[in-house]
Amino acid sequence: MSDELKPATTVQSDLWARLRSFTRARIALGRSGHAQTTETILAFGLAHAQARDAVHLPLDAEALAVALRAAGHDSVRVHSAAVDRAHYLRRPDLGRVLDDDSGARLDALRPARTIDVVFVIADGLSALAAQRHVLPLLDAICARLHDVAIGPVVIALQSRVALGDDIGQRLGARQVVMLIGERPGLSSPDSLGIYLTHAPRLGRTDAERNCISNIRPEGLSYAQAADRLVFLMRGALALGRSGVDLKDDSSESGSMLP
């Protein structure tokens, strides 16, 4: 066949495959003529659907409670003032306070002695993240804590980050640690975040918290996240506060464990 009769090649070869193997970000997608390839368009649609599903997927609190019990953790279930997902998404303020029944339940559980830390497992904007990552992360954290009074693990439904302030204050905890599903991205529908608040109480601002984000196998590992959190917890106790005044320089300090 002469060169004049050979069909034109419209799909360019993917010369960036090796580079893309190092990240889940959408880089070097290639093109077919002046448009994206069918493969990349379909992949984008799938990622968008997974992100939307992650926002609306409910947390299986019963299965989580059973798994926590098997791992040796007592748990209690609470609900924010947002009665359902629709209210939760439209009214962020309702997700920051407990409903009346949950508040009364925690008031009754407040121990006589002070709790050093309360862990709150929250659905947030990705229950999928909490369902997948909380248990191995919690195991990694607890393995690094010694001589620390840990309260019951609180499973919080329709929860925003600030709900931890209400929970920690009612249980009389020195610190509250929120393990919460983060807003899904187009390459990370199951990203988990940690929020540490020292001396939790209603009215705390985001500037008074420390955040560790993107916890998942493709992001920050459970071990790395646990190391950073324990470092920040100890720093908050020494400083007497958390937030913008508490810097995460754990990488400069080496291992934070004795």
So what's the pLDDT on residue 135? Answer: 96
So what's the pLDDT on residue 12? Answer: 53
So what's the pLDDT on residue 207? Answer: 96
So what's the pLDDT on residue 256? Answer: 43
- Distances in Å between the alpha carbon of 209 and those of 170, 202, 218? 18, 13, 25
**Could you tell me if residue 258 is inside a domain?**
no
The range of the structural domain enclosing residue 69 comes to 59-253
Strands of the chain (E only): list them. 75-79, 115-122, 153-157, 173-181, 192-198, 209-215
**Could you tell me if residue 35 is inside a domain?**
no
So what's the pLDDT on residue 5? Answer: 58
**Could you tell me if residue 40 is inside a domain?**
no
So what's the pLDDT on residue 220? Answer: 94
- Distances in Å between the alpha carbon of 175 and those of 61, 217, 237? 23, 27, 9
**Could you tell me if residue 90 is inside a domain?**
yes
**Could you tell me if residue 112 is inside a domain?**
yes
Please write the tens of the pLDDT for every residue from 32-75. 788 888 888 887 788 788 888 788 889 999 999 999 999 999 99
**Binding-site residue positions for adenosylcob(III)alamin:** 161, 182, 211
**Could you tell me if residue 223 is inside a domain?**
yes
pTM of the entire structure?
0.84
**Binding-site residue positions:** 161, 182, 211
Q: Exposure of 99 by Cβ count < 10 A (0-12 exposed, 13-18 middle, 19+ buried)?
A: middle
Q: Domain with 67 in it: what CATH number? A: 3.40.50.11240
Can you state the angle between helices 163-171 and 100-109, rounded to 10 degrees?
30
Q: How far apart are CA 13 and CA 124, in angstroms?
A: 41
**Could you tell me if residue 203 is inside a domain?**
yes
Q: How far apart are CA 79 and CA 98, in angstroms?
A: 6
Q: Exposure of 235 by Cβ count < 10 A (0-12 exposed, 13-18 middle, 19+ buried)?
A: buried
Give, for all 258 residues of the chain, the pLDDT tens digit: 555 555 555 555 556 777 777 777 777 777 778 888 888 888 778 878 888 878 888 999 999 999 999 999 999 999 999 999 999 999 999 999 999 999 999 999 999 889 999 999 999 999 999 999 999 999 999 999 989 999 999 999 999 999 999 999 999 999 999 999 999 887 788 999 999 999 999 999 999 999 999 999 989 999 999 999 999 999 999 999 999 999 887 765 544 443
So what's the pLDDT on residue 3? Answer: 57
